[in-house]
Amino acid sequence: MSVWSFDYRPHRRFVATAEHSAQVWRLLLGIVLAAAIFLALSRMLISTVFTVLEPGARSTLIADGSSGQTAGGMLLMLFQLGLLAVTAAIVVIMVHKRRPSTLIGPLGLAARQFMAVLAILAILIVVLTILPPYGYGDDSGALERNMGLGRWLLLLPFALIAVLVQTGAEEIFFRGYIQQQLAARFRSPLVWMLLPAFLFGIGHYLPESAGSNAVTIAVWATVFGLLMADLTARSGTLGPAMAVHFVNNISAMVLTSTPDEMSGLALYVLPFGIGDEAAMAAWLPVDFGFMLVMWLAARLAIRA
């Protein structure tokens, strides 16, 4: 089947397990419960971490956890977001009376699709790294080393696990839970694709740190959500979306990051920060292009 096919029949199988509890009130109740459960679990996580820290280190960790500028703060942030998966699992059991594994789709198929997309994206990253251009513009300067290679390699296994947990949890919540429940109730993709993507974009709206680029970044995240919704509908599992999200965040958090936001695990940082409006505005179109190429590569990997 063509890479451009929009045959979403696999999506109907994906959402079939949600059809017996597809009432809108259940979804609204689930989202409210999810917010409350996530906050409660986050407090439990932070309290648990605090028990092993000296009093003076606690305020530092809280500050680092909000900006992600240290390795400890970044790991805390990522694992905290991973609680979204636990939250979604609790909600589908309590409100929708079904197994949490149904949020992902057939697990064997999801795993195979995840690995297929991961493999093609790994090849894509290598090719893009080898091919020119190698800089970020004539006046932007080169990438700057954020930490020593030895320390980065020691942190790498923990970083990979944390990013996998974070990206997997976000896909389970937005494309698994919200998209699945909406699609079980509404046939139109304008509902089950747009609404979860819009909520995902709102979560990336950061006017305090991004300035005038905040709207563009939120639009980027919304488009990303739409593309992940398409991959989920095309494949019938969360496997491809999880793989793309994982590779995207590894690139943006573990390989190269901005120096002022979520740089605690990155080997390199860009020569400009998220608050540098002119430089970020120039770089975001490149990021849009990279996102589209990854989406097309993933579609190529799962075509049948």
Note the pLDDT tens digit of each residue in 181-205.
Answer: 999 999 999 999 999 999 999 988 8
The pLDDT assigned to 138 comes to 43
What is the reported pLDDT for 62? 65
pLDDT at 16 over 70: yes
| C-alpha to C-alpha distance for 49 and 34, rounded to whole angstroms | 22
Which pair of tokens denotes residue 207? 């006017």
Within 10 angstroms of residue 230's Cβ, the number of other Cβ atoms is 21
292-299 mean pLDDT? 95
**Is the pLDDT reported for residue 141 higher than 60?**
no
The Cα-based distances of 248 to 71, 116, 224, 244 in angstroms read: 19, 16, 10, 6
Residue 95 confidence (pLDDT): 96
Give the C-alpha separation, 216 to 137, whole Å.
20
Per the model's pLDDT, the better-predicted residue between 240 and 141 turns out to be 240
Helices 277-302, 214-235: crossing angle, 10 deg rounding? 0
Return the bridge partners of 145, or none: 268
Contacts of 206 (CB under 8 A, 6+ apart): 214, 217, 274
Gap between the Cα atoms of 197 and 222, Å rounded: 5
pLDDT of residue 111: 97
pLDDT at 183: 96
Structure confidence by residue, pLDDT tens digits, 64-114: 666 677 888 899 899 999 999 999 999 999 999 999 999 999 999 999 999
Cα separation, 56 vs 76, in Å, equals 17
The mean pLDDT value of the chain amounts to: 88
Is the bond into 133 cis (omega within 30 degrees of 0)?
A: yes
CA-to-CA separations, 176 to 9, 59, 93, 189, 235, in angstroms, rounded: 16, 35, 14, 15, 13
Q: Residue-wise over 52-87: b if at least 16 C-beta within 10 A, else e?
A: eeeeeeeeebeebbebbbbbbbbbbbbbbbbbbbbb
Cα separation of 259 and 262, whole Å?
8
Q: Look up residue 102 and give its amino acid.
A: T
Residue 169 in this model has a pLDDT that exceeds 70: yes
The share of the chain scoring above pLDDT 70, in percent, equals 90
Q: What pLDDT was estimated at residue 61?
A: 65
Q: How far is CA 236 from the centre of its chain?
A: 18
- Grouping H, G, I as helix, E, B as strand and the rest as coil, residue 269 is strand
d(CA 66, CA 56): 17
- Residue tagged 């009130």 (tokens): 25
CB 86 within 8 A of CB 172: no
What is the Cβ-side half-sphere exposure of residue 160, based on CA atoms within 13 angstroms?
6
Place of tokens 């979560």: 203
| Kind and range of the H or E run holding 268 | strand 268-269
Between 210 and 42, residue with greater pLDDT: 42
- Confidence at residue 37, expressed as pLDDT on a 0 to 100 scale: 97
pTM of the predicted model, to two decimals? 0.91
Average pLDDT of span 268-288: 81
Res 46: pLDDT: 83
CB 139 within 8 A of CB 56: no
Question: What was the pLDDT predicted at 137?
Answer: 47
